[in-house]
Amino acid sequence: MEAISKGVDQVQDSSSSSRSEGLLVSSDEDSKNGWTKKQILTAITLSLMYLAQAISFGIISPFYPSEAAKKGASSVVVGLVFGVFELVIFITSPIYGSFVSV
């Protein structure tokens, strides 16, 4: 029985040391490498895309309701236009995200 408990202790000691060594190696590699150029360019491109989207949405939102009212659209229709815009972005983001390989 003692031999079994000593064997279990040795296995636990060796597995914990290999886990800590693996963590040290991976953290050292991450700190050396950082982001690749492709990842940086992807992040910049996505950031600029979302900035352009926010700007375009921000430019139209103050003027659209009054212009739509002049043409006979109700406030419900104006709300639907803005809601459908965000819904389409919500639905298509995962689809386009699957094409981006980081």
What confidence category does residue 3 fall into, taking pLDDT thresholds of 50, 70 and 90? low
Look at residue 76 in the predicted model and tell me its pLDDT. Answer: 96
Higher pLDDT, 96 or 29: 96
pLDDT digits (tens, 9 = 90+) for 23-74: 444 444 545 668 899 889 988 998 998 899 889 888 988 999 999 999 999 9
Q: Cα dihedral sign for 78, 79, 84, 89?
A: positive
Residues 102 and 39: beta-carbon distance below 8 Å:
yes
Work out the average pLDDT over 11-28: 47
Look at residue 90 in the predicted model and tell me its pLDDT. Answer: 92
Look at residue 100 in the predicted model and tell me its pLDDT. Answer: 73
Helix (H, G, I), strand (E, B) or coil at 8: helix
CA 77 to chain centre: 31
- Taking the C-alpha atoms of residue 65 and residue 102, their distance in angstroms, rounded to an integer, is 39
Look at residue 9 in the predicted model and tell me its pLDDT. Answer: 53
Question: Is this model's pTM higher than 0.75 or not?
Answer: no
